[in-house]
Every structure is written in structure tokens, then in C-alpha cells.
């Protein structure tokens, strides 16, 4: 009798684990808003030196007067 009860309990636990379900939780991602300036001026100046080096200067300015200048030099 005990063996039958143990076998039944083992069979029920195997059946219960086989019926286990996976729960997937999905989350809504927040919207990404990118504010672009209404007007932006950009000037690019490339200067090639005689020794194989090149200098590139980029100047940006938005309509609010904020400006940024980046200078990059590369040599072969």
C-alpha cells in the first residue's frame, strides 16, 4: 500500500512539473523624443598641407547662438 501511495505521489509531482508554464512579462518602452534645433549653420573647412597631413575643422552654430568647433588632424 505504501509503495502504491509513493508511486502515485511521484507520478503526480512529475505531471505537475510537466504542466508548468512560463510567464513572460512585457514592458512598454517609453517614447524617445529627440529635439532638433530649428535652424543650425554648419561650416566645414578642409586644409591639406604639403607634408601629407590634412586638417578638418567643423563649426556648428544653432539659432540660439550656441556654437561648437571641432578640429581634427590626420597624417599619412
Give dist(CA 58, CA 64) in Å, integer. 18
Element housing 54 (H / E): strand 53-62
Joined together, the cell numbers standing for residue 7 give 508511486
Place 11 in a pLDDT band, splitting at 50, 70 and 90.
low
> Residue 20: what pLDDT?
56
Return the SS3 of 73: strand
> Residue 15: what pLDDT?
56
Domain boundaries along the sequence of the chain: 39-76
Give dist(CA 71, CA 50) in Å, integer. 18
Give the global pTM: 0.45
> Residue 58: what pLDDT?
93
Main-chain phi, psi angles of 40, to 5 degrees: -145, 130
Amino acid at each position: 500500500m505504501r509503495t502504491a501511495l509513493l508511486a502515485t505521489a511521484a507520478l503526480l509531482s512529475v505531471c505537475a512539473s510537466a504542466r508548468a508554464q512560463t510567464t513572460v512579462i512585457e514592458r512598454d518602452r517609453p517614447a524617445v523624443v529627440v529635439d532638433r534645433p530649428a535652424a543650425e549653420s554648419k561650416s566645414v573647412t578642409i586644409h591639406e598641407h604639403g607634408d601629407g597631413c590634412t586638417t578638418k575643422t567643423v563649426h556648428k552654430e544653432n539659432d540660439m547662438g550656441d556654437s561648437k568647433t571641432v578640429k581634427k588632424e590626420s597624417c599619412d
